[in-house]
Amino acid sequence: MSLRLPFGGGARHDARVATANAEAIEAEIGRERERERIERAAAAFRLQVAAARLQLAAAEERAQLARDNRGFYEKSFRLGESDLPTRLRIEAEAVEADKALGRARLALAFGISQLRQALGLLPE
């Protein structure tokens, strides 16, 4: 009578090892694809943030010019040198510039939030 001890050899074991290796390779490829996708998304969001910063700078400048212009026309109106429709138009332009400034600030904050999320960081 003989005793036989299987030590993991044989066709079934080899098939399991091959399946496990194939799954590991598949998982590695999936991880690499996901890493590349995240890098592309982060790069796109970095560009979006840079563009939002430029738009914010332009909106700040426009709002400052509109406020200055409003001050000049207000003084001109008080002195009787400007008419009411012109003053109202200038006031409307200043309000619109302030709204655009607010939208630009929100766009920048949103872009930064998306970038942080793409990088896996927590919100601030």
Residue 4 has pLDDT above 70, yes or no: no
* Structure letter (DSSP) for residue 10: S
Residue-level pLDDT at 8? 59
Residue-level pLDDT at 113? 93
Residue-level pLDDT at 7? 65
Q: What is the pTM of this model?
A: 0.74
Residue-level pLDDT at 9? 64
Residue-level pLDDT at 34? 93
Note whether residue 35 is domain-resident: yes
The residue range of the domain holding 42 is 11-118
Cα-atom radius of gyration of the chain, to the nearest Å? 32
**How many structural domains does the chain have?**
1
Tens of pLDDT, residues 6-37: 665 677 777 888 899 999 999 999 999 999 99
Note whether residue 90 is domain-resident: yes
What is the torsional sign of CA 50, 56, 58, 60?
negative
Note whether residue 4 is domain-resident: no
Residue 94 has pLDDT above 90, yes or no: yes
Note whether residue 6 is domain-resident: no
Note whether residue 123 is domain-resident: no
The Cα–Cα gap between 50 and 10 comes to: 60
- Looking at per-residue pLDDT, the higher value among 42 and 5 belongs to 42
The Cα–Cα gap between 116 and 121 comes to: 5
Tens of pLDDT, residues 51-62: 999 999 999 999
The Cα–Cα gap between 31 and 43 comes to: 18
Note whether residue 1 is domain-resident: no
Note whether residue 55 is domain-resident: yes
The Cα–Cα gap between 27 and 48 comes to: 31
Note whether residue 124 is domain-resident: no
